[in-house]
Chains A and B, each alone.
Chain A
Amino acid sequence: MTAAPLLDVQNLEKSYSIGRTGLFSKRSLKVLHDVSFSVAPGEVLGLVGESGSGKSTIGRAILRLIDSQSDVMRFGGQDLNSISTVQMRSLRKEMQIIFQDPYASLNPRKTIRAVLSEALDAHGLHKGAARGPRLIELVTLVGLDPSFLDRRPHEFSGGQRQRIGIARALAVEPSFIVCDEAVSALDVSIQAQILNLLADLRAKTGVSLLFISHDLSVVRYISDRVMVLYLGRVMEVGPADQVHFSPKHPYTAALVSAEPSLHRESRRIRLTGEIPSPLALPSGCIFRSRCPYAQPACAETVPPLQTAGDQHQSACLRTDIL
């Protein structure tokens, strides 16, 4: 992956204001701290972390569905931080999103034809006579029958709806798709079908994915690289198999070992304590309050991401443990 990155993000931060403390001052809750990463053309970057770690926030910030602050946010050579609204609208064709909940992500009042047409209309694609064939092409691409076009979402199963959501994202031929827990709500046998579909589409169209999931095995299978997030900070990032099979950060190690698996050999690493409230984060290493290896020094400095192998980085002060 030496090509110029398709997406480059440096020091992404996001705060939500939560209530007021005085008449004019607001209390704010910082949910992303200093997140930096890049995605190469055709690459799948996996994003894992527990709920509330900020995975979805990152995806929405990149798509500019929510406001955020960053030093650099470039997509395909364009600076997203200074882009005009008009330019952003045409750039939306390049960046799409697939959602977690196949039931909430489709407008219950629209037929599948209308759902897909909205995508094409938004960018004036395949107008007139070209529309029909394109719609058929799209539903066939995601493995559905063209006769489904004139039905409404409630007539479909979760897996079929998820395919429609994928077809909607693909309709405008994007070069980048955020998959936010795109397979999490599906049953295993359907989940495997959708994962294979995404892998095929990636191979066929060269689309890049930001693949968000809390399921580490799914992320390992589909991603080239994996980034691990804890309370809005990057803990570890590296090639998928390396992060999964030889994690360098105690948090990743704990996550992997907590995964239920059919054949467990290694002992589970027990984390003590609960995830701290985002309003009262520990000083120094954010993972300190649950880390089995924590030392007094961990309370002093925020560990920076350090090289821990080929393309592999980890944010832990102790390099002697894993």
Chain B
Amino acid sequence: MMSARNFPKRMLLPSVLLAALIIIPFSAPLITAEDPIKIAVRYRLAAPDLQHWLGRDEFGRDRLARVLHGGQVSLTVAFVATTIAFIIGTFFGLIGAYFRGPSEFITSRLSDIVLCFPPILLALLVVTLFGPGAGTLVAVLSVLYFPTFARITFSEALRVTSLDFVEASRALGTPSRRIVLGTILPNIAGPLSVQYSLTAAAAITIESGLSFLGLGVVPPAPSWGQMIRGARQFMNQDPLGIMIPCAALVLTIYAINFFCDRLRDTLDPKGASGSGMDEVSKPLALADAPAIRDPNVVAVINKLRLETTRFGTPAAVIEDVSLTLRANECTALVGESGSGKSLSSLALMGLLPGAIRQASGTLQLRRKTGEVVDLGFLDARTLENIRGNDIAMIFQEPMTSLNPIHKISDQMIEAIQAHRPMSKSDARAHAIQLLKRVGMNDAERRIDSYPDQMSGGMRQRVMIGMALTCEPRLLIADEPTTALDVTIQAEIIELLQTLRQDQGNGLSLLFITHNLGVVADIADRVAVMYSGQIVEEGPANQILRDPHHPYTRALIESMPSSHEGLHSTDGDRLPAISGTPPLPSARPSGCAFRDRCPIAMPTCAEIRPVLYPSADGERAVRCLRAPEAPAGLMKNHQTEAA
């Protein structure tokens, strides 16, 4: 499977450690010539010397030989039992999950029955019936552990089986055996390998435990449990005796766990999960920005630049983004996935992911008190206070932001009380009022339902209601209607429209979407983003009617709804732009849109366009060939170059 050449580096240490722990006990004859069961009472509890490195035990037997030979027994019992349990359990789990029906019944019932027995009781029962010994131990441990494997395999396989690629294999007519072994099994290898490690470790412990009780390996044969059992009586005189087998146990268990953890990461096709991606990094402000004068302006993003070092060298994920958000106005941020829409808004919330750093630019906010703050200079507590009080946010999938196990009422009351000191009944009354405001009929009754008893549209209304708890000045909505049906989407847009027109102290709405039709419905102003930059900005109706940037034009043109006359069967094709947006680390020189732009000129590779404002200052475009671009920019440059 894995050739030596691409043996992953991070597997090296755990593999060596584990291999050592397995090889060393089995190469006991090479290490010491002593016989582990030869008794020499004369030397009982003798201290270590050159011949007997670890000294001797209560019967004068060589401890080194015993711990090594004992390791052979302990490891063999544990691994053989775990492997048997793994094979049987995985087999039942896979069969149950893939074929469902009766086999599912057998798998789950059988496992349930075995899991009902307390493990030690089961072990005692079997040992009493068959007598102690290594063989019995293996049998007991396999029976004990196979249900756990069956269960994990079952639930994991059930999850994978419902994924599209398994369905695709079935649709292709691939035989069941090949789907189960070739597709499902490798995809559940991660959790299974972790379970294997946990089980092997537990088996070693139980083996020792049973041997300690005298129910496992029969004396005088050595095993770690036996050694602990023997040394326990002389613990006070001779602590070394008990420390040696315990250390061997701990070390082995640690090595197995370490190995399996790394193995799971390696088996993950995407490699180990990125480090520290989910921490919140603190934005840092580099420059003082002029204070906002206009009282209607709620927030200003000025020349924001966000960087990541994910690609080796620092690359700008957001570059030169400026936005002014006004009260009672809706600004739409549009662009394709990865263009930086969500990051720009997270920066406003002070919630940038840890791997992203604010390199320059300012983020200013006018709080409800009228005070203007620079979000980059605030400490975590003030930011927390601002979130919810001055800025609120709603997301695409309301189900993931609502806790499914609590009633809506409880979640809303908690959210309200977190920001406003009031009694529970007042908070509930306030919550009902909020729900009514977001258009929920029968709010008094429905507030006591659970999230999954509501439709997606209703859940989104709840989220909006919760966002309005403290009358924020700025509401950021990140694709709030994308997961909803068109009829429901229309209702939510209407609701957001009314909210922004109503609110006394002037709500500003930042609406993030990839759907230009939605922009036409809701936005006053629109900013189009491409590869981390705003490429066109201005009044929504102007820009949608008469886009000046080739990218905005392409976006509008590639929507089938812009072409009511075109039909694929008549041989018509949609005017699509070729290619895909570049990664932040691989933006072309000059204009970032250059390699997809249908009207690019050689100059576009040399000059990096900035946002050129129109004469009336209403709109701006980042294109050298736009009407707003300074006249002669192209010509001058060409003569310069000539």
**Which B residue's beta carbon lies closest to that of A153?**
B269
0/1 interface trace, chain B 553-572, chain A, CB 8 Å (1 if under): 01110111111101111010
Residue of B170, B173, B458 contacting most chain A CB atoms (<10 Å): B173
**Which B residue's beta carbon lies closest to that of A157?**
B580
Q: Does B606 contact A (CB under 8 A)?
A: no
Q: Does B576 contact A (CB under 8 A)?
A: yes
**Which A residue's beta carbon lies closest to that of B174?**
A122
For B517, give its contact among A65, A152, A157, A260 (CB under 8 Å): A260
Give, as a whole number of angstroms, the nearest-CB distance from A208 to chain B: 12
Judge whether A89 and B173 touch: CB under 8 Å.
yes
0/1 interface trace, chain A 185-213, chain B, CB 8 Å (1 if under): 00111111101101110110000000000
Judge whether A107 and B183 touch: CB under 8 Å.
yes
Contacts A118-B169, A122-B173; A192 near B576 (Cβ below 8 A): yes
Judge whether B517 and A196 touch: CB under 8 Å.
no
- Bound CA–CA A107/B166 (angstroms): 8
For A50, give its contact among B168, B487, B516, B567 (CB under 8 Å): B487
Give, as a whole number of angstroms, the nearest-CB distance from A40 to chain B: 12
Q: Does B575 contact A (CB under 8 A)?
A: yes
Judge whether B560 and A90 touch: CB under 8 Å.
no
**Which B residue's beta carbon lies closest to that of A106?**
B165
- Bound CA–CA A246/B173 (angstroms): 41
Judge whether B561 and A259 touch: CB under 8 Å.
yes
Chain A residues closer than 8 Å to B577, beta-carbon distance: 189, 192
Judge whether A258 and B487 touch: CB under 8 Å.
yes
Judge whether A260 and B489 touch: CB under 8 Å.
yes
**Which A residue's beta carbon lies closest to that of B493?**
A260
Contacts A158-B337, A240-B567; A97 near B561 (Cβ below 8 A): no
Contacts A196-B576, A217-B561; A189 near B487 (Cβ below 8 A): no
Q: Does B490 contact A (CB under 8 A)?
A: yes
Q: Does B277 contact A (CB under 8 A)?
A: no
Give, as a whole number of angstroms, the nearest-CB distance from A302 to chain B: 22
Q: Does A154 contact B (CB under 8 A)?
A: yes
Q: Does A271 contact B (CB under 8 A)?
A: yes
Judge whether B567 and A221 touch: CB under 8 Å.
yes
Chain A contacts with B in 81-129, Cβ cutoff 8 A: 88-90, 92-93, 95-97, 99-101, 104-109, 118-119, 121-123
Judge whether A96 and B172 touch: CB under 8 Å.
yes
Q: Does A78 contact B (CB under 8 A)?
A: no
Judge whether A260 and B574 touch: CB under 8 Å.
no
Q: Does B514 contact A (CB under 8 A)?
A: yes
Contacts A104-B163, A188-B336; A275 near B455 (Cβ below 8 A): yes
0/1 interface trace, chain B 168-194, chain A, CB 8 Å (1 if under): 111111110000000100110000000
For B514, give its contact among A188, A245, A254 (CB under 8 Å): A188
Contacts A50-B487, A159-B580, A189-B558; A195 near B568 (Cβ below 8 A): yes
Chain B residues closer than 8 Å to A240, beta-carbon distance: 567
- Bound CA–CA A168/B168 (angstroms): 9
Chain B contacts with A in 199-235, Cβ cutoff 8 A: none
Q: Does A274 contact B (CB under 8 A)?
A: yes
- Bound CA–CA A99/B514 (angstroms): 21
- Bound CA–CA A26/B168 (angstroms): 30
Judge whether B163 and A95 touch: CB under 8 Å.
no
**How many residue-residue contacts, CB under 8 A, span A and B?**
175
**Which B residue's beta carbon lies closest to that of A263?**
B520
Judge whether A192 and B163 touch: CB under 8 Å.
no
Q: Does B88 contact A (CB under 8 A)?
A: no
Residue of A51, A188, A274, A275 contacting most chain B CB atoms (<10 Å): A188
Total residues of chain A contacting the partner, CB 8 A: 77
Contacts A99-B164, A119-B172, A221-B566; A195 near B574 (Cβ below 8 A): yes
Q: Does A224 contact B (CB under 8 A)?
A: yes
Q: Does B578 contact A (CB under 8 A)?
A: yes
Q: Does B93 contact A (CB under 8 A)?
A: no
Give, as a whole number of angstroms, the nearest-CB distance from B18 to chain A: 24
- Bound CA–CA A50/B487 (angstroms): 8
Chain A contacts with B in 1-51, Cβ cutoff 8 A: 44, 50-51
Judge whether B558 and A221 touch: CB under 8 Å.
no
Total residues of chain B contacting the partner, CB 8 A: 61
Judge whether A259 and B486 touch: CB under 8 Å.
yes
Judge whether B165 and A107 touch: CB under 8 Å.
yes
Give, as a whole number of angstroms, the nearest-CB distance from A245 to chain B: 8
Chain A contacts with B in 214-251, Cβ cutoff 8 A: 214-218, 220-222, 224, 240-241, 245
Chain B residues closer than 8 Å to A199, beta-carbon distance: 568-569, 573
**Which B residue's beta carbon lies closest to that of A277?**
B455
Judge whether B171 and A259 touch: CB under 8 Å.
no
- Bound CA–CA A46/B16 (angstroms): 59
**Which B residue's beta carbon lies closest to that of A187?**
B336
Contacts A108-B269, A217-B561, A221-B574; A99 near B520 (Cβ below 8 A): no
Chain A residues closer than 8 Å to B278, beta-carbon distance: none
Judge whether B485 and A214 touch: CB under 8 Å.
yes
**Which A residue's beta carbon lies closest to that of B169?**
A118
Chain B contacts with A in 541-597, Cβ cutoff 8 A: 544, 554-556, 558-564, 566-569, 571, 573-578, 580
Contacts A92-B171, A157-B580, A189-B558; A262 near B544 (Cβ below 8 A): yes
Judge whether A188 and B520 touch: CB under 8 Å.
no
Judge whether A123 and B173 touch: CB under 8 Å.
yes
0/1 interface trace, chain A 251-274, chain B, CB 8 Å (1 if under): 000110011111110001011001
Judge whether B171 and A97 touch: CB under 8 Å.
yes
Q: Does B379 contact A (CB under 8 A)?
A: no
**Which A residue's beta carbon lies closest to that of B517?**
A260
Q: Does B518 contact A (CB under 8 A)?
A: yes
For A262, give its contact among B175, B457, B556 (CB under 8 Å): B556
Q: Does A135 contact B (CB under 8 A)?
A: no
Residue of A105, A118, A255 contacting most chain B CB atoms (<10 Å): A118
- Bound CA–CA A285/B380 (angstroms): 56
Give, as a whole number of angstroms, the nearest-CB distance from A216 to chain B: 8
Q: Does B448 contact A (CB under 8 A)?
A: no
0/1 interface trace, chain A 55-83, chain B, CB 8 Å (1 if under): 00000100101000000000000000000
**Which B residue's beta carbon lies closest to that of A123?**
B173
For B485, give its contact among A51, A95, A200 (CB under 8 Å): A51
Q: Does A172 contact B (CB under 8 A)?
A: yes
Give, as a whole number of angstroms, the nearest-CB distance from A114 to chain B: 9
0/1 interface trace, chain B 362-376, chain A, CB 8 Å (1 if under): 000000000000000
Chain A residues closer than 8 Å to B168, beta-carbon distance: 97, 99, 105, 165, 168
Contacts A104-B165, A274-B457; A189 near B573 (Cβ below 8 A): no
A-B contact pairs, 5 of them (CB 8 A): A90-B173, A109-B187, A118-B169, A214-B486, A270-B491
Pick the 9 closest A-B CB pairs, nearest first: A260-B517, A92-B173, A192-B576, A192-B558, A217-B561, A105-B164, A187-B336, A199-B568, A99-B164
Using a CB–CB cutoff of 8 Å, the interface residues on chain B facing chain A are 163-165, 167-175, 183, 186-187, 269-270, 336-337, 455-458, 485-491, 493, 514-518, 520-521, 544, 554-556, 558-564, 566-569, 571, 573-578, 580
